[in-house]
Amino acid sequence: MIIVMRHEATEADIAGVVSRLQAIDCEAHVSRGQLRTVIGAIGDRDQIQTLPWEAMAGVEKAVPVLKSFRFVSRDFQTEDSVIKIGGATFGGGHFTTIAGPCAAENRDQVMRTAEAVKLAGAKMLRGDAFKPRTSPYAFQGLGEAGLQLMAEAREQFELPFVAEVLDSRDVALVSSYADVLRIGTRNMSNFTLLAEVGRQPRPVQLKRGFTATLEEWLNAAEYIYKEGNHQIILVERGIRTFETAARNTLDITAVPLIKGMSHLPIVVDPSHSGGRRELVAPLARAAAGAGADGIMVDVHPTPDTALVDGAQALLPSEFAEMMTAVNAIASVLGRVL
């Protein structure tokens, strides 16, 4: 049940509702918005429903939760969640670009890419040290040495960075270097990993599972939120469909749908969606046009020699050109760059 307080409800009214919930052994999650406060009630549904909520001081209405997720829903919080990481802001009308190599490979590659994406307007760097690969014989990432390179680039170019964490046992390590932890598509339903990143303080990027529905995706976000970490950025990265012409099918419809279903920011990854260089710019433009809160793009100084995902990596010059168009679209829509 979600109890929506009146605009003019007082602190005493809010405390009154919380204590009624506690009296029946229910948890009360208070969310204070700019316009009104809502209280999420968790516990025995029958007992909660029998209380006369709408007769209580300061209560506007009590809405039963029909969805399987609660706290990440727009019903629970009407205003956008805004997540600030250094100079990068996600949600609340901003349009923010994350860019960098798919994987950190060596110092020269990381530094050259970081310098180029910063110059072209990226606000956050990407670059993984632990790579989920289809083949166990493919390059798996540099591990901690990769995180050290990324941290060096952060200092030099003043760009926070995001890196993937594949295993619960590595959460503390990745979190000790990276500004944002990423859960990749293959781990979206790894509920122990979701809970683990929910219990550490860094913001989390949650990629959509490539076969996940929007509801399953938001439930995965709920696993993180429920543990106390509310800084979650959703990333649409394409889903598997019957179409084989591109690596995945970018579900652009997910962007406006998620905006209606959830208060969390949503970023689009046009690189892993299309899987081919020539598709990246058109998909990025579509993302900005559809109302995404940002994009995350693979860039490499020499894509031909990339150890991972070279086919979809943009050259720094291609990235800069793409940014001009994408930022123009985002600006027309009133986004803050």
252/233 Cα distance (integer angstroms): 16
Which of 40, 141, 184, 274: binder of ligand PEP (CB under 6 A)?
184
For residues 43 and 310, which CB has a smaller minimum distance to ligand PEP in the complex? Answer: 310
Q: Considering CB distances under 5 to 8 angstroms, the limit depending on partner class, which of Mn ion, ligand PEP, none binds residue 185?
A: ligand PEP
Shortest approach of ligand PEP to residue 267 CB, angstroms? 11
User: Applying CB under 6 A, does 275 fall inside the site for ligand PEP?
Assistant: no
Q: Which is nearer to Mn ion, 226 or 247 (CB)?
A: 247
Interface residue with Mn ion, options 5, 28, 41, 102 (CB under 5 A): 102
265 in contact with ligand PEP (CB under 6 A): no
Count of beta carbons in the 10 Å neighbourhood of residue 213: 12
Number of amino acids touching ligand PEP (CB under 6 A): 8
Interacting partner of 184 out of Mn ion, ligand PEP, none (Cβ under 5 to 8 A depending on kind) = ligand PEP
Q: State yes or no: residue 102 binds ligand PEP (CB under 6 A).
A: yes
Q: Looking at 309, 314, 323, 326, which residue binds Mn ion (CB under 5 A)? A: 309
Positions in the binding site for Mn ion (CB under 5 A): 102, 309
Positions in the binding site for ligand PEP (CB under 6 A): 102, 128, 132, 184-185, 207, 237, 272
